[in-house]
Amino acid sequence: MDKVRVLIAEDHLTVREGLKLILKAQPDIEVIGEASDGRSAIEQAKELNPDVVLMDVSMPLLNGLKATQELSTCCPDVKVLTLTRHKDEGYLQQLLRAGAAGYVLKQSPPAELLHAIRSVAAGGQYLDPAVVGKVVGGYVAHAKNKGVVAKSEPSERESQVLRLIALGYSNKEIATQLELSVKTVEVHKANGMRKLGMGGRIDIVRYAILQGWLHES
Amino acid sequence: MDKVRVLIAEDHLTVREGLKLILKAQPDIEVIGEASDGRSAIEQAKELNPDVVLMDVSMPLLNGLKATQELSTCCPDVKVLTLTRHKDEGYLQQLLRAGAAGYVLKQSPPAELLHAIRSVAAGGQYLDPAVVGKVVGGYVAHAKNKGVVAKSEPSERESQVLRLIALGYSNKEIATQLELSVKTVEVHKANGMRKLGMGGRIDIVRYAILQGWLHES
DNA sequence: GCCGGATTAGGGATTTTCCCTACTGCAGCT
DNA sequence: AGCTGCAGTAGGGAAAATCCCTAATCCGGC
């Protein structure tokens, strides 16, 4: 039987090395590549055609969510297993809708990670037991959010503003930083929020965490 | 020569396992314990008396900063090497004042981590090259014992409110959640900010990132 | 007993945000 | 060429949130 060919996409070198060591210790798993951001993860996935991409959700340049979406269209045969620290249901649903084949928490034991890799490589789906309950009950509970999603992507300017808001800046401070009128900032904020179906500042912070916006100095 | 005895304090199991594998591959380094939160890190440090504690800054229960402060008073012989993803200078200085012997970024290659462990175990100080330039001011006088960390600690209620603010909730929303008057929330916020010398919502978010408040579901 | 800190809260002024509207430039489609 | 859509810019006025000052209660410590 062939080994499972895995591509690791994770921005922290130390963590990445650790994952590599864990995977390399398995006789049936092979690490064929590494990427430190979402953009190169996609490039390498196209080139190497791995069985599984082990994808950290928060990465620079292109976050795990968008990278997953892109991969699921350009390389539908590549399974994406998302690795994250959040067990919040919102992220889970977004990721699954984006085409992720599985969802493993960084808090989970490595044995689970390995199990997940083997499951998705075999064509299955794997959800971490710690969150699996949330997806069944979750969809109904969040019926108020409707089918949502599929909203359009925010523009560059809008993302920029949303990021600064999540970082705690006021509209006025953002206007100063970007050399804009406060009014313009308000519009970017409102449009960005509308596109993402957001209802308040909390949603912006949640989104920012998912995007990895709060982790780069 | 005896091996360097290391205690790992890191809340993510997968990451922790990876670190362990990296360290165990070294002939001169020995992993004598692991902790998944700051509180148990301190307990284990007291019990095991390691040479070095490899401390993630953002952990549940007691974050790396406070755990470092506590360790530097209760176990001054234990060297604390902080492992973080932030290269922001504010965190660096806070950590050094708290008594950390070193500072390594998760983005750095494992070789640097190993070098750092050996350096601090030998009684030296190690700052990641990526941030070393930021401490130019003789700030790190290393009079070691306390100095000016001071500013009083925020109370439980105050921390609770600051955390919710960082998460993007408005004072009103917080008041509802905690079943308080908006006015009370405002006071807790103001008092907490005063104690920490904060000047705006940005500072709250920065603090929250350092505390690891934004990482738990 | 008195003092300081934690927790609770109100009044009033100020600041920020929200909602609606509007113009420009550019790209794509008819 | 004309139309349509969207990014980017911005204003006016209303609504909401925040800030500053004051103040009560309770509690533990000197």
Q: Which residues of A37-54 are buried (b: 16+ CB within 10 A; e: fewer)?
A: bbbbbbebbeeeebbbbb
CB of A12 within 7 Å of some strand D atom = no
Query: Mind listing the pLDDT tens digit for each residue in B107-127?
Result: 778 888 888 888 888 888 787
Orientation of helix B171-178 relative to helix B182-196, angle to 10°: 110
Which band of pLDDT confidence, cut at 50, 70 and 90, is reported for residue A186? Answer: very high
Which range, of A35-44, B91-100, B140-149, averages the lowest pLDDT?
A: B140-149
Which range, of A22-36, A69-83, B165-179, averages the lowest pLDDT?
A: A69-83
CB pair distance less than 8 Å for A22 and B14: yes
CB pair distance less than 8 Å for A18 and B13: no
The phi, psi pair for A17, rounded to 5°, reads -60, -40
CB of A205 within 7 Å of some strand C atom = no
- Residues of A within 8 A of B85 (CB-CB) are 12, 215
Considering only the beta carbons, identify the residue of A14, A113, A169 that sits closest to B110: A14
pLDDT score at A40: 85
Average pLDDT of every residue of chain B: 78
Highest mean pLDDT among A142-151, B13-22, B26-35: B26-35
CB of B193 within 7 Å of some strand C atom = no
Q: Is the pLDDT of residue A95 over 50?
A: yes
Query: Mind listing the pLDDT tens digit for each residue in B68-95?
Result: 877 877 787 888 888 877 665 556 666 7
Which range, of A86-95, B19-28, B146-155, B179-188, averages the lowest pLDDT?
A: B146-155
CB pair distance less than 8 Å for B14 and A108: yes
Of A23, A21, A1, A19, nearest to A11 (Cα)?
A: A19
Q: Which position has the higher pLDDT, B159 or B97? A: B159
Q: How far is A130 from chain B (nearest CA, A)?
A: 12
Q: Is the pLDDT of residue A188 over 70?
A: yes
pLDDT score at B7: 92
Q: Is the pLDDT of residue B178 over 60?
A: yes
Average pLDDT of every residue of chain A: 78
CB of A158 within 7 Å of some strand D atom = yes
Per-residue pLDDT, averaged over B17-33, amounts to 89
How many Å apart are CA A171 and CA B168, to the nearest integer?
14
pLDDT score at A125: 76
3-state secondary structure of A78: coil
3-state secondary structure of A115: helix
The two structure tokens encoding residue B10: 């890191």
* Chain B residue with minimum CA distance to A168: B202
Q: Which position has the higher pLDDT, B118 or A37? A: B118
Determine what percent of chain A is predicted with pLDDT higher than 70.
79
Contact between B10 and B56 under an 8 Å Cβ cutoff? The reply is yes
pLDDT score at A149: 39
pLDDT score at A140: 33
Per the document, the length of chain B is 217
**Interatomic distance A112 CA / C29 C1' (Å):** 51
CB of B156 within 7 Å of some strand C atom = yes
Which band of pLDDT confidence, cut at 50, 70 and 90, is reported for residue A132? Answer: low
Which band of pLDDT confidence, cut at 50, 70 and 90, is reported for residue B142? Answer: very low
Sheet-wide strand order for B29-35: B29-35, B4-9, B52-56, B79-84, B102-105, B126-127
- Residues of A within 8 A of B134 (CB-CB) are none
How many Å apart are CA A137 and CA A89, to the nearest integer?
10
pLDDT score at B154: 81
Of A64, A18, A17, A16, nearest to A38 (Cα)?
A: A64
Structure pTM? 0.67
Task: Return the residue matching tokens 């600064």.
Answer: A164
Which band of pLDDT confidence, cut at 50, 70 and 90, is reported for residue A189? Answer: very high
pLDDT score at B89: 54
How many Å apart are CA A52 and CA A55, to the nearest integer?
9
Q: Is the pLDDT of residue B173 over 60?
A: yes
Q: Is the pLDDT of residue A147 over 50?
A: no
Task: Return the residue matching tokens 């990482």.
Answer: B215
CB pair distance less than 8 Å for A201 and B88: no
Considering only the beta carbons, identify the residue of B17, B166, B200 that sits closest to A22: B17
